[in-house]
């Protein structure tokens, strides 16, 4: 899923996450993010709990945990963003066309030369149903996370994160 937004805000993040949920061919169980403030907004974390999606921010100074995202961003920079104008009226259509190409037609070395769509088809038998994912979610285990990594809000106390 791709999108272009004018700013990093809770509202734009929620819009994008709604598009992700609607567009994924499998239930979203968790999101892992960098430590962007937009993900720590109460509205975003509350909506994720409503959707029964776990929020797992990366620890600071852990770029290795975001390697797949960094790689797809590099590919997008080299293959897409270098070929378009950010001011182009047709940018949303171009971005959608590239997303379809990337997922449906472009072979990926990391997938043994398969496209993401082919890999997803290979995994179809083991992808859990939405009902299974929903049943496995325990809202009591989800805390409101703060961007400050030293302290996290738990329902009855502050918990030091080490």
| 41: three-class secondary structure by DSSP | coil
According to the model, what pLDDT value does residue 15 have? Answer: 97
Q: What tokens appear for 31 in the block?
A: 């999101």
Tokens coding 49:
């709990």
**SS3 of 57, please?**
strand
Please give the chain's pLDDT, 162 residues, in tens: 888 899 999 999 999 999 999 999 999 999 998 888 999 999 999 999 999 999 999 887 777 888 888 888 899 999 999 999 999 999 999 999 999 999 999 999 999 999 999 999 999 999 999 999 999 999 888 888 888 655 555 555 555 554
Largest CA distance in the chain: 52
Q: What are the structural domain ranges in the chain?
A: 1-57+128-162
Backbone angles phi, psi at 98, to 5 degrees: -65, -40
Report which of 49, 31, 38 is spatially closest to residue 12, judged by C-alpha positions: 38
**What pLDDT, on the 0 to 100 scale, is given for residue 149?**
57
């Amino acid at each position: 899923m791709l999108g272009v937004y004018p700013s990093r805000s809770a509202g734009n993040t929620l819009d994008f996450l709604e598009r992700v949920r609607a567009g994924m061919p499998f239930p979203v169980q968790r999101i892992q993010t960098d430590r962007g403030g937009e993900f720590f907004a109460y509205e975003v974390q509350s909506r994720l709990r409503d959707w029964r999606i776990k929020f797992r921010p990366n620890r600071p100074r852990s770029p290795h945990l975001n390697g797949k995202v960094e790689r797809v961003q590099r590919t997008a920079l080299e293959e897409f963003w270098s070929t378009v104008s950010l001011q182009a009226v047709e940018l949303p259509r171009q971005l959608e066309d590239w997303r379809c190409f990337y997922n449906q037609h472009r072979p990926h070395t990391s997938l043994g030369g398969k496209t993401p769509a082919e890999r997803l088809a290979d995994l179809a038998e083991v992808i859990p149903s939405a009902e299974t994912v929903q049943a496995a979610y325990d809202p009591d285990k989800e805390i409101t996370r703060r961007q400050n990594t030293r302290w996290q809000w738990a329902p009855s106390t502050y918990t030091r994160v080490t």
